[in-house]
Amino acid sequence: MKCDRCRRSEPVYFREYEGRSLCKRCFLQTIEKRAREEIRRYGGISGKKVLVAVSGGKDSNAALYILWKIAKRSRAELQAISIDEGIKGYRKKSLTKAEELCESLGIEHQVISFKEEIGVTMDQISELGSPCTYCGVLRRKLLNEYALKGGFDFVATGHNLDDEAQSILMNLMRGNIKRLLREENPKNGLVPRIKPLRLVPEEEVVMYSEFRGIPYYQGECPYVEMAFRKRIRDFLREMKKESPGVLFNLVRSWEKVRNLKSKPDIKLNKCEICGSPTSREICKACELMDIISLEFT
Ligand code: SF4
Ligand code: ZN
Ligand code: ZN
C-alpha cells in the first residue's frame, strides 16, 4: 500500500476524517500547510512581532515549533511567554519542557507568575471553586497586557481543533454568545490571536510532536477534573469515535453562522421525486426512502 497523497511512500497513518492514508512526510506537510493557511487568515506574520504562549504541553510546544519554522523564512520576530499560575506538582514540570524547547530553538522565553502579578496562586484561588474560570480569565488578561506593553502584533496559542470545538460548544451551552463573538474580534484593545493548530485534531498534534521530536510535558493539571470543559471534552471524544468529522463540522458550522450578515434567504425547491418543499434537488425523505427500498425490496 502507498501513501494516498504522494503515491510513493509507505503510509504510517490513516486519517479517518479524510478517508486517506498518509506517509510520515505527507502527514507532516499537511499539518504545516494547515498551520500556514491558518496564519494567512490573519494576513501572515511576515515582519511581525509574535508573542507565543507556551505551557510546555504538546499543543503549545508544537505551535511554537511550527511558528519558528515559518518565522525563519518570513523575518517574523518570535518571543515565548509562559504563565506560572502556581499549581503545585504540575506547572513547574511543564515549564521545564517549554524552557527546553525555547532553548533548543534559540527563542527568548519569559515567565510571569500569578503570584507576582496578582498576588495569589491558582492553588489559593482554587478554594473559591471553579478554578478553571479564574485561571483562564486571568491568564488571558495577563497575556494580553504583556502583548500590548511589548507592542506585539499577535498572541499565538496552541489551541487545537478539539479545544476549539469544546469552546464553541461550551459557550453555546452557557448562552455566552457575546463571549464567542468577542473572542474572534481583534479590536478593542485585544491583541489579535492566532491559533496555528486550530484545525488540527488533538491526536494529530501528538503525532506531529512525536515525529518531529518536540519535547513536551504529558501530565495534566490536577484541577481539570473540576472543569465543565472536561465533560464536554469527554463527550466530544465519544462523538468523534462514532463520526470522525464532527469536530470539523462543529467548528466550520459555527464559523458560517458567525459570518452571517443577516438571516440567509434559503430558497426552497420542489423535490424532483415527490414535489415536497426542499432546499435540495431531491428531498431528504426521498433519499432515505431510496435507501430503504434498496434494502427491503
Ligand atoms: Fe488552569 Fe483549569 Fe487549565 Fe488547570 S485545567 S491550567 S486550572 S484552566
Ligand atoms: Zn506521502
Ligand atoms: Zn422528495
Whether the pLDDT of residue 187 is over 80: the answer is no
| Strand segments (E) across 28-137 | 49-53, 77-84, 109-113
Q: Which of 122, 137, 157, 232 to mutate to test the pocket of ligand 1 (most atoms within 8 A of CB)?
A: 122
Q: How far is the CA of 97 from the centre of ligand 2 (A)?
A: 30
Q: Half-sphere exposure of 232 toward its Cβ, with a 13 Å CA cutoff?
A: 17
Question: Ligand 1 pocket by C-beta < 6 Å: which residues?
Answer: 85, 122, 131-132, 135-136, 221, 223-224, 227
Cell of 206: 501528538
Per-residue model confidence as pLDDT tens digits over 65-74: 999 999 998 8
The protein residue whose alpha carbon is closest to atom 2 in ligand 1 is 132
What is the position in ligand 1's atom list of the atom closest to the CA of 222? 4
Mean pLDDT (whole number) for 143-162 = 96
Q: How far is the CA of 205 from the centre of ligand 2 (A)?
A: 18
Ligand nearest to the CA of 227: 1
Band the pLDDT of 16: cuts 50, 70, 90: very high
Q: Quick one: DSSP state of residue 282?
A: S
Residue type at 177 in one-letter notation: I
Ligand nearest to the CA of 10: 2
Per-residue model confidence as pLDDT tens digits over 240-278: 999 999 999 999 999 999 888 777 777 888 999 999 888
Q: How far is the CA of 28 from the centre of ligand 2 (A)?
A: 9
For residue 232, the model assigns a pLDDT of 96
Q: How far is the CA of 132 from the centre of ligand 1 (A)?
A: 5
Ligand nearest to the CA of 283: 3
The protein residue whose alpha carbon is closest to atom 5 in ligand 1 is 224
Rounded Cα distance between 121 and 102, Å, is: 25
Rounded Cα distance between 132 and 225, Å, is: 10
Select from 22, 18, 17 the least CA-distant residue to 2.
22
Band the pLDDT of 130: cuts 50, 70, 90: confident
Q: Which residues contact 11 (CB under 8 A, 6 or more apart)?
A: 1, 2, 3, 4, 21, 22, 23
Q: Which of 132, 157, 226 to mutate to test the pocket of ligand 1 (most atoms within 8 A of CB)?
A: 132
Ligand nearest to the CA of 135: 1
Q: Quick one: DSSP state of residue 192?
A: P
What is the position in ligand 1's atom list of the atom closest to the CA of 122? 7
Q: Which of 113, 124, 135 to mutate to test the pocket of ligand 1 (most atoms within 8 A of CB)?
A: 135
Whether the pLDDT of residue 103 is over 90: the answer is yes
Rounded Cα distance between 247 and 168, Å, is: 10
* pLDDT > 90 fraction of the chain, expressed in percent and rounded: 80
Please, what is the average pLDDT of the chain? 93
- Walk me through the domains of the chain, giving residue ranges and CATH numbers: 33-264 (3.40.50.620)
Ligand nearest to the CA of 12: 2
Rounded Cα distance between 214 and 210, Å, is: 6
Whether the pLDDT of residue 49 is over 60: the answer is yes
What is the position in ligand 1's atom list of the atom closest to the CA of 221? 4
Rounded Cα distance between 166 and 136, Å, is: 14
Least confident of 67-71, 146-150, 192-196, 225-229: 225-229
The protein residue whose alpha carbon is closest to atom 4 in ligand 1 is 221
What is the position in ligand 1's atom list of the atom closest to the CA of 136? 8
Q: Which residues contact 95 (CB under 8 A, 6 or more apart)?
A: 55, 56, 82, 84, 111
Q: How far is the CA of 224 from the centre of ligand 1 (A)?
A: 6
The protein residue whose alpha carbon is closest to atom 6 in ligand 1 is 221
Is residue 194 classed as helix, strand or coil in its secondary structure? strand
Q: Which residues contact 290 (CB under 8 A, 6 or more apart)?
A: none
